[in-house]
């Protein structure tokens, strides 16, 4: 057994016991397009150019102007009340501020990528509603194609009954609708690697922008640029293999991020984010590890916000596993948390040489994305988008170059410690 294999032996004992739930949606309504239109539109990108809400508290209509007719899938979710519209990959070229204000039964809406080749609209409802109609109007006489969703107010009892029917149908579809394009490349699973595998997780993405700075800079863009730079430097070192949970503006659920790292047998997981707070003078980087009890009130609030990412994107959490009872997995998680703490200390030391740190920079809370039992995980908040100086720093190429260098050094130091520990 090689030295590297010996460092992984304990983690792999429990690797086969970790599972993830897949969510899929079943089409509720389809646009009426001809075969010829479908062939022509398949080669053209879909563009959304405007959206609006009309109606009142009894019946409300959502309308979005599209460049062409498409197929859609529409369903409801609760906690909070939402209407979710899935559609093919769409370029949302909408006016600024569209979706911020509501009307009638709708509080507002958001939109973006939800996966490769897929986009999503999430409409926030003010209470229990039912989808009365959902359809596509084809383009005609110079008018654009239109997506139309009619919703009506219903009782909580009626809403729950409809929700159950919809969930049952989507679950049935999930068993037969897993696309080959969504499966992991076979060459990456259980591969014999010479170097440790680092999985970098740029937070948010697609329909979920994360924190938005007062000047419009979005967390999802900042952390993706940072993650790409970090990946390039880790690979250039010749000492590590590197994968990213997303390398474009796509939304990935929290569970799928962890599953991705697990399925590829990650040796280290680094989730990258940027924070915000109501106190505009607070700035600096923070490193978080997992704990059942938060280290402080701010850490608890941040974990709650980051854990809400799936809700923002309209992910159905009703079938998510509530806990893991295996003794092996509990033991693996305990050992993994120790390794996470070791790396967090190395990382804080490294970051202190390249960027400003918050007071007490190593903190902990119950982050969903750090709950894997079989590989060490940390979440790095690079700075505060609520602070003007940090925003300027986070968008600086020079700063990004310095900080990624220090993280590479920290990763190198961490794996040096693990090899020594395994050899003793």
Question: In angstroms, rounded to a whole number, what is the distance separating the alpha carbons of residues 343 and 411?
Answer: 8
Quickly count: other Cβ atoms within 10 Å of residue 373's Cβ.
Answer: 23
SS3 content of the chain, % helix, strand, coil (to 5): 35, 30, 35
Structure tokens at 413: 């130091």
Rg (CA), the chain: 23
Backbone angles phi, psi at 222, to 5 degrees: -65, -45
Question: Can you tell me the distance from the alpha carbon of 1 to that of 74, in angstroms, rounded to the nearest whole number?
Answer: 52
| pLDDT value of residue 271 | 97
pLDDT at 27: 40
> Per this entry, what is the length of the chain?
424
- Distance between CA 401 and CA 411 in Å, rounded? 16
Per-residue pLDDT, 161? 87
Which two tokens mark 5?
Answer: 């294999």
* Tens of each residue's pLDDT in the chain, 424 residues: 443 443 443 343 333 333 333 333 334 443 444 444 444 545 578 999 999 999 999 999 999 999 999 999 999 998 889 999 999 999 999 998 899 999 999 999 999 888 778 899 999 999 999 999 999 999 888 899 999 999 999 999 999 888 887 776 666 555 444 333 343 333 333 345 678 999 999 999 999 999 999 999 999 999 999 999 999 999 999 999 999 999 999 999 999 999 999 999 999 999 999 988 888 889 999 999 998 888 888 888 888 878 777 777 777 665 554 444 444 445 456 678 889 999 999 999 999 999 999 999 999 988 989 988 889 999 999 999 999 999 999 999 999 999 999 999 999 999 885 544 444 4
275: CB partners within 8 A, 6+ apart = 211, 286, 302, 381, 383, 384, 385, 386
How far are the Cα atoms of 50, 354, 363, 385 from residue 349, in angstroms, in the given order? 48, 10, 14, 23
Domains and CATH numbers, the chain: 3-22+195-423 (3.40.630.40), 29-174 (2.60.40.3500)
Alpha helices in 296-375 (DSSP H): 297-307, 309-312, 327-351
Per-residue pLDDT at 117: 85
Question: The tokens of 258 are what?
Answer: 């962890």
Rounded Cα distance between 384 and 274, Å, is 6
Picking from 155, 154, 137, the residue whose alpha carbon sits closest to that of residue 146 is: 137
């Amino acid at each position: 057994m090689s030295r590297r294999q010996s460092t992984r032996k304990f983690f792999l004992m429990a690797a086969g016991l970790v599972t993830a739930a897949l969510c899929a949606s079943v089409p509720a309504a389809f646009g009426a397009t001809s075969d010829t239109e479908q062939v022509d539109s398949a080669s053209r990108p879909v563009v959304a150019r405007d959206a609006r809400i009309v109606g009142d508290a009894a019946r409300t209509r959502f309308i979005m102007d599209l460049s062409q007719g498409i197929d859609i899938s529409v369903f409801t979710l609760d906690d909070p009340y939402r209407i979710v519209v899935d559609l093919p990959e769409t370029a949302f070229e909408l006016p600024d501020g569209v979706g911020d204000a509501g009307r009638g039964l709708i509080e507002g809406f958001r939109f973006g990528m939800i996966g490769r080749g897929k986009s999503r609209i999430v409409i926030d409802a003010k209470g229990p509603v039912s989808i009365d109609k959902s359809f596509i109007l084809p383009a005609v006489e110079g008018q654009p194609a239109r997506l139309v969703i009619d919703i009506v107010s219903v009782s909580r009892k009626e809403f729950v009954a409809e929700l159950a029917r919809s969930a049952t149908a989507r679950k049935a579809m999930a068993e037969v609708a897993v696309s080959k394009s969504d499966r992991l490349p076979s060459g990456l699973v259980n591969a014999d690697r010479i170097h440790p595998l680092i999985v970098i997780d740029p937070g948010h993405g697609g329909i979920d922008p994360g924190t938005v700075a007062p000047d419009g800079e979005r967390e999802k863009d900042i952390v993706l640029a940072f993650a790409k730079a970090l990946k390039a430097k880790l690979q250039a070192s010749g000492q590590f293999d590197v994968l990213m949970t997303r390398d474009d503006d796509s939304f990935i659920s929290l569970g799928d991020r962890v599953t991705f790292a697990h399925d590829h047998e990650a040796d280290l997981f680094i989730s990258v984010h940027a924070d915000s707070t109501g106190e505009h003078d607070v700035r600096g980087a923070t490193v978080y590890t997992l704990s059942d009890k938060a280290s402080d009130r701010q850490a608890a609030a941040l974990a709650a916000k980051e854990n809400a990412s799936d809700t923002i994107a309209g992910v159905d959490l009703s079938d998510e596993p509530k806990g893991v009872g295996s003794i092996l997995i509990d033991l693996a998680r305990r050992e993994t948390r120790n390794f996470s703490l070791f790396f967090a200390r190395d990382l804080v030391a490294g970051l202190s040489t390249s960027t400003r740190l918050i007071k007490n920079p190593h903190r902990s809370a119950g982050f969903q994305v750090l709950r894997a039992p079989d590989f060490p995980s940390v979440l790095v908040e690079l700075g505060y988008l609520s602070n003007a100086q940090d925003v300027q720093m986070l968008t600086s190429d020079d700063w990004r170059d310095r900080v990624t260098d220090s993280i590479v050094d920290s990763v190198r130091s961490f794996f040096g410690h693990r090899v020594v520990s395994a050899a003793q």
